[in-house]
Amino acid sequence: SYVLTQPPSVSVAPGKTASITCGGNNIASKSVHWYQQRPGQAPVLVIYYDNDRPSGIPERFSGSNSGNTATLTISRVEAGDEADYYCQVWDSSSDHVVFGGGTKLTVL
Amino acid sequence: EVQLVESGGGLEQPGGSLSLSCAASGSTFSSHAMSWVRQAPGKGLEWVSVISSGGITHYADSVKGRSTISRDNFKNTLYLQMNSLRVEDTALYYCARYSGNSFSGGFDIWGQGTMVTVSS
């Protein structure tokens, strides 16, 4: 089955740039979606189809997908960005939705 | 604004059954694929099942054979029936809407979840 690998944690100072990676075999051939989940809340879609932003999501959030790694980049990080972030794809070979294990973003 | 409201959670015994519902507001329910995603306490997101607007279904290996996802496009409601419950099925169950009718899309709307606890 297809596996997505994320770092368990990423730390960043306010105002700096955070990069959260999502590794998968030839992930560039798939569409990657990213979710933000604050404590006690439901997930929120922040990036879809690799690099598109839903309405209401700040331009500070961007995505890329190449080779075996997709990346969520958060520019000018704010305290409110502190949350768990999950990547997700559809694996058509198994007809399964796959989530990464999640990355806890800590704003120092 | 589209909203999803789950119901049906509670305390269940191992080996028992559960029936969850997800009521969607708005008139576009029938044109979107839908999914159930669960999250065990303190753990990450785990996909459970998907259903297309036309009724094509797929299941995670962990629930396949003991779960049934269905939808009523007239009632704007998504369902999940799960049998032979296990302790490891304990989780917050989210209903999530695909942005379109493609399984390769993302989930643009999520409910607040309904908690299922499986314990004797």
Give the pLDDT confidence of B60-113 residue by residue, as tens digits: 999 999 999 999 999 999 999 999 999 999 999 999 999 988 999 999 999 999
Q: How many CB pairs under 8 A join A and B?
A: 68
* Residue B114: closest CA among B29, B48, B53, B51: B48
Confidence of residue A98 (pLDDT cuts 50, 70, 90): very high
| pLDDT score at A103 | 98
A43:B35 CB<8 A: no
Q: Is A3 helix (H, G, I), strand (E, B) or coil?
A: coil
Residue with tokens 């559809």: A90
| Mean pLDDT of all residues in A73-90 | 98
B24-73 pLDDT tens trace: 997 789 999 999 999 999 999 999 999 999 999 999 999 999 999 999 99
Which of A43, A96, A97 is facing B110, going by the closest CB pair? A43
Report residue A21 CA to chain centroid gap: 7
| pLDDT score at B26 | 77
**Residue in chain A lying closest to B61 (CA):** A96
| pLDDT score at A36 | 98
| pLDDT score at B23 | 97
B110:A42 CB<8 A: yes
**Residue in chain A lying closest to B104 (CA):** A90
| pLDDT score at B1 | 84
